[in-house]
Amino acid sequence: MRSYADAVKSIVPFNTEAMIAAATAHVPSGYRGCAWMHPELDHGKAILRSEEALNCYLAAYGTMHEVKMVNALKNLPGSALTGEYDVVDWGCGQGLASMCLLDVLETGCPGRMPRKITLVDASEVALARARLHVSLKAGRNADVRCIRASLSFGSGDARPAAPASRVVVHLLSNIIDVPGIDTASIAGSIFASGRENYVVCAGHANTMEAADTFCRHLRRLGASVMYEYNEPFAWQLPNGKEFGGDLRLLRCAGAGRSTACCA
C-alpha cells in the first residue's frame, strides 16, 4: 500500500471526507472497525506520536468532528469574509477544522480564501499532517504556518504572531475540554490580536461546562455570543450511531479597538 501522504496527494478533488476515507484505508488491520481502541488515542484527548495513531483518530472521530464543525461554520457571517482575513486553528490536530472551513468556503464563498492559516498543536506528527492537508486543499500558493505549542502556555510555548489582516477567524475543534488546556490564555491571545475576531468552537455535547467557561473568558474581554447550540443526539453516522455536539460562535473586538468595529 502507498504511504498515506502519497495517497492523499493523488486525490482530486481533495476535501475533508476524502481525507477521512484515506486515513480509514490506512488503519492497521488489528484496529479495523475499532480504531478508537488504539492505545495512543485515550478517547481522542492524547498527544499523538505515530502515523498509525493519526489514521485511527480520523477513522474513529473524523466524521463526527467534521459534522459539528461544518454546522458551526454555517453560522459564520459572510460579511466577516468579504475582505482580507487570517485563520488561527487552535489545537489543530491534523487540520480538520481548517479543512472544514476551506470546504465550506469552496462551496458557498468561492474566491474568499484566507490570507494566512496558522496551525497550532502540541503534536509534531499531527502538525506535519495538518500542513500536508491544508496545503493540498488551499493550493501551493497558500501561506500555511505551523506552531508547536502545548496550549498550556508554559514558558517555552510559542504563540501566533499578531495577524496583519483586520479580521481573524479562530477555530477550536474538540480542544477546550482537553486536560491542561489554558482556555483563559487562549482567550487572552485572541483579544490581544488587536483585530476583529470571530471564534468558532465545536465540541462534544457533554463539554458544555468547558465551553461555558471559555465563553466567560471571552465575554469578560467584550465578546458577544452570536450562536449557541447544544444537543446530545443531533446527528447520525452511517452505522446508525447517534451523536451530538456543543457549538459556539462569538465575535470579539481585539485590544485597542472599540466593540463598535464588530457591529
- Indicate the pTM of the whole model: 0.94
Does residue 31 lie within any of the structural domains? Answer: no
Q: Which of 70-84, 175-189, 244-258 has the lowest mean pLDDT?
A: 244-258
Does residue 250 lie within any of the structural domains? Answer: yes
Name the band, by pLDDT with cuts 50, 70 and 90, for residue 261. Answer: very low
Count: domains in the chain: 1
Instruction: Report the C-alpha gap between 194 and 243 in whole angstroms.
Output: 37
Does residue 40 lie within any of the structural domains? Answer: no
Q: What are the CA-CA distances from residue 112 to residues 8, 80, 221, 251, 259 (Å)? A: 24, 10, 28, 19, 24
Confidence at residue 141, expressed as pLDDT on a 0 to 100 scale: 80
Does residue 7 lie within any of the structural domains? Answer: no
258 pLDDT more than 70: no
Does residue 159 lie within any of the structural domains? Answer: yes
pLDDT in tens, 127-169: 999 999 999 999 878 899 999 998 887 656 667 776 678 899 9
| CATH of residue 228 | 3.40.50.150
Domain region containing 227: 62-262
Does residue 28 lie within any of the structural domains? Answer: no
Helix axes 96-108, 16-25, angle to 10 degrees: 140
Confidence at residue 154, expressed as pLDDT on a 0 to 100 scale: 66
Percentage of residues in the chain with pLDDT exceeding 70? 93
